[in-house]
Amino acid sequence: MSQPDPSVLEEIGQLRVALNDANYRYYALDEPTLTDADYDRQLQRLQQLESEYPDQVVPDSPTQRVGSAPTEGFPEVAHAIPMLSLDNAFSRDDIVAFAQRVAERLECQVDDIEFSCEPKLDGAAVSLVYEQGVLVIGATRGDGRTGEGITSNLRTLRSVPLKLVGDELPALVEVRGEVIMRHSGFEALNERAREEGSKVFANPRNAAAGSLRQLDPRITATRPLEFHAYQAARLEPDLGDTTHSALMQRLSKLGFRTSTELTTMRGPEAVADYCDQLGAKRDQLGYDIDGVVIKVNDLRHQRELGFVARAPRWAVAFKFPAQEEVTTLNDVEFQVGRTGAITPVARLEPVTVAGVTVSNATLHNADEIIRLGVMIGDTVAIRRAGDVIPQVVRVDEEKRPADARAITFPDHCPVCGSDIERLEGEAVARCSGGLYCAAQRKEALKHFASRKALDIDGLGEKLIEQLVDQEWVKTPADLFHLSVEQLKSLPRMGEKSATNLVNALEKAKQTTLARFIYALGIREVGEATAANVANHFGTLQALQDADQAALEAVNDVGPIVAKHIHTFFRQPHNLETLQVLIEAGITWQESEVTQGPTPLEGQTWVLTGAMESMTRDEGKARLQALGAKVAGSVSKKTTCLVAGEAAGSKLTKAEQLGVEVIDEATFIDRLTAWERSE
Ligand code: IVH
């Protein structure tokens, strides 16, 4: 046996350190440091060197084990049968070579071997043990021999049966599979994290693994996780199934979700075609897969083939191109969303990620920029998968050039120039331009025209989009200058609808101060707050002049809302827009300023059923103007329930709880009396 060169020994040592470290970060910390492609490349190189110099193989080499030791916090679970890994195939040739190895051992023709193919799910591997049909243990893979007991967490997944289905249940079943998070759930979870300023996950696999390792199962329960079964590690007594595919059907009957993509076929060419087809469909699945697991279908053949050190001989993982690649961050631009949220967007040196050219990726928010520690000029890892927005997942600080620049968050909106607000404790920075900001124009107009705002009949979403796209309407004030002539030239708009719309606009000009304030779309100023503010200040001018302290004196207005209102009225553009709206003819009855506490302050009312003399919204507005809160459901805290015609379950509940119930006539009497006494 030849003694390796010192440089080879050094390379082996370096690869082991790098791979062990990557393993630890990937499995134990859920914080990957290498791209999958890099990891696979380095592992393959180590495998190659170890096969050239078998004397150098040591038991703790990354080629000899899977994952790393479990971290503290969960009980250890020893796997009765080790949870192994799979060898990889990267090409058609690799698939053919695998089939040939199998055929040689089984002494048969490659084209006679039946394979079962299914997606290689990219999530977290877990094992579930059922005794007499009841789930007793759920565990992570850990290092393959010992995992972490996360039974309470796994019990929170609806796709994990707590009890198996059927009459004749095996005494012992151990099912293995993958816990995944779909793209939709992942995006929603990250969106929530962004809003709350908590950590965003780099990919659905990390989100799944991180969610499973929560010490509080109640947190796991809120995460959109799914368990997909792909193996029966133990089944006692054996139910007589002779193939993997039959066993999967059995698992499905016992209550498990198994792959809908599972297909059986003969010969390596058919397998390779399946891999191509699934690869083409990969982006449409709605969840991450990183390849195809190809298994010899016949269970007797599987037993005959057995295992080598870390993987079975009867299976191989065909790996798709990695969804992470490395490139340079050329610049960062700031985009303004439809609600004014400012999102930093990475402009990248174009790079092909899983077959698609990526030149932009999201950096989510200011906190994420700090968490990543990223600078302009940095070498960054980019990830794209299916419908998930490409994102920057890591920075290689060692490759940072001398002229790297820090990313500075703007103070002013890149679209309209208004101040950008970022409140303490909030992760999102927002443009305060509201009605004025072109990026927010369509949303702002929809809100302005909505039922609880100016209630412009016939001005729906579609029409607003057309008006903005035609550039006829830039600010809400422009709405009031639209003519019948102009409108009827729009597709699907006749003379009659155009006239109706112009009339509706005319009618909407006569409004209330509360509706007008609500229509402005100031952040966190809903209809109740708008009513309170209108009631408190009486005039738009008084509201405009109010300082923060004066705003905080309003019922239900805290420091955050006060700051939003204050900032809104400090933007010259907003004042201009207000001016133009008033010039366009919007008017309201100026009301008297309410002094001191309002008569219904501290009370909570609920309205149910239909009333004859007013709509529920009107009743609600009048109650709010008197200082009451109006809730949607009855509880112990409800002061009074107004029951209109055909009141249902709310009435029953109020009666059960002994809450006062009044009819419409009594309600109107009381309202009028209170309104007079104010
Ligand atoms: S079968 C003896 N089937 O891939 C091992 N594994 O590298 C049998 N995986 O961590 C595994 N999808 O969690 C199998 N359909 C599938 C799979 C799958 C994902 C994971 C598995 C393991 C890794 C193996």
CATH code, domain carrying 387 = 2.40.50.140
Residue 176 clears pLDDT 80, i.e. is over it = yes
CB within 8 Å of 361: residues ≥ 6 apart: 345, 346, 348, 382, 384, 389, 390, 391, 392
296 - beta bridge partners? 115
122 with 97, same domain: the answer is yes
Tell me whether residue 75 is in a domain. Answer: no
99 with 197, same domain: the answer is yes
**Ligand 1 pocket, residue 205 CB under 6 Å:** no
Q: What is the largest CA-CA distance in the chain?
A: 104
Q: What CA–CA distances, in Å, run from 388 to 57, 183, 284, 326?
A: 41, 6, 11, 18
Q: Hey, what amino acid is at 631?
A: A
Residue 597 clears pLDDT 60, i.e. is over it = no
494 with 574, same domain: the answer is no
420 - beta bridge partners? 431
CB within 8 Å of 415: residues ≥ 6 apart: 336, 431, 433, 437, 438, 439
DSSP-assigned states of every residue in 346-357 = EEEEEEEETTEE
**Phi, psi of 359, deg, nearest 5:** -125, -5
Among the ranges given (37-51, 339-353, 453-467), the one the predictor scored with the smallest mean pLDDT:
37-51
- Please give the order of strands across the beta sheet that includes 172-181: 134-140, 124-131, 172-181, 225-236
Tell me whether residue 664 is in a domain. Answer: yes
Written as six digits, the tokens of 115 are: 């394979």
pLDDT grade for 592, boundaries at 50, 70 and 90: low
For ligand 1, atom 18, name the residue with the nearest CA: 120
291 with 204, same domain: the answer is yes
Q: Cβ distance 590 to 517 under 8 Å? A: no
**Ligand 1 pocket, residue 178 CB under 6 Å:** yes
Report CA(122)–ligand 1 centroid distance (Å): 9
Tell me whether residue 123 is in a domain. Answer: yes
Q: Known catalytic residues?
A: 120
C-alpha 113 chain-centroid distance: 42
- CATH number of the domain within which 631 lies: 3.40.50.10190
Q: Which atom of ligand 1 is nearest to the CA of 259?
A: 15
Tell me whether residue 215 is in a domain. Answer: yes
Residue 70 clears pLDDT 50, i.e. is over it = no
**Ligand 1 pocket, residue 293 CB under 6 Å:** yes
pLDDT grade for 155, boundaries at 50, 70 and 90: confident
Q: Which residues belong to the annotated binding site for Zn(2+)?
A: 413, 416, 437
Tell me whether residue 597 is in a domain. Answer: no
Report CA(286)–ligand 1 centroid distance (Å): 19
d(CA 70, CA 496) in angstroms, rounded, equals: 72
Q: Which atom of ligand 1 is nearest to the CA of 120?
A: 12
Report CA(292)–ligand 1 centroid distance (Å): 9
Q: Which atom of ligand 1 is nearest to the CA of 317?
A: 7
Q: Which residues belong to the annotated binding site for NAD(+)?
A: 36-40, 85-86, 118, 141, 178, 295, 319
d(CA 370, CA 314) in angstroms, rounded, equals: 46
Residue 593 clears pLDDT 70, i.e. is over it = no
Domain extent, residue 467, equals 450-508
Report the share of the chain in percent with pLDDT over 70.
Answer: 94
Tell me whether residue 596 is in a domain. Answer: no
325 with 312, same domain: the answer is no
251 with 112, same domain: the answer is yes
522 with 612, same domain: the answer is no
Q: Cβ distance 457 to 500 under 8 Å? A: yes
26 with 102, same domain: the answer is no
Average pLDDT, the chain: 88
The closest alpha carbon to 397, from 431, 419, 373, 413, belongs to 373
**Ligand 1 pocket, residue 98 CB under 6 Å:** no
Report CA(316)–ligand 1 centroid distance (Å): 9
Choosing from 43, 68, 86 the residue with most ligand 1 atoms within 8 A of its CB, the one to mutate for a pocket test is: 86
Where do we find the tokens 């990354």? 62
CB within 8 Å of 658: residues ≥ 6 apart: none
156 with 238, same domain: the answer is yes
Which comes out higher in pLDDT, residue 492 or 345? 345
pLDDT grade for 29, boundaries at 50, 70 and 90: very low
**Phi, psi of 630, deg, nearest 5:** -120, 120
459 with 484, same domain: the answer is yes
Q: Hey, what amino acid is at 522?
A: I
Tell me whether residue 236 is in a domain. Answer: yes
258 with 206, same domain: the answer is yes
Please tell me what DSSP assigns to residue 320: P
Q: What CA–CA distances, in Å, run from 134 to 8, 137, 160, 247, 558?
A: 52, 9, 11, 19, 51
The predicted pLDDT at position 108 comes to: 95
406 with 492, same domain: the answer is no
Choosing from 293, 302, 320 the residue with most ligand 1 atoms within 8 A of its CB, the one to mutate for a pocket test is: 293
**Ligand 1 pocket, residue 231 CB under 6 Å:** yes
pLDDT grade for 573, boundaries at 50, 70 and 90: confident
The predicted pLDDT at position 227 comes to: 94
d(CA 555, CA 536) in angstroms, rounded, equals: 8
Report CA(84)–ligand 1 centroid distance (Å): 8
pTM for this prediction: 0.62
Report the share of the chain in percent with pLDDT over 90.
Answer: 55
Q: Which residues belong to the annotated binding site?
A: 36-40, 85-86, 118, 141, 178, 295, 319, 413, 416, 437
Number of domains the chain is built from: 6
The predicted pLDDT at position 24 comes to: 56
Burial (CB count within 10 angstroms: exposed 0-12, middle 13-18, buried 19+), residue 482: middle
pLDDT grade for 68, boundaries at 50, 70 and 90: very low
Report CA(436)–ligand 1 centroid distance (Å): 53
Q: Cβ distance 329 to 401 under 8 Å? A: no
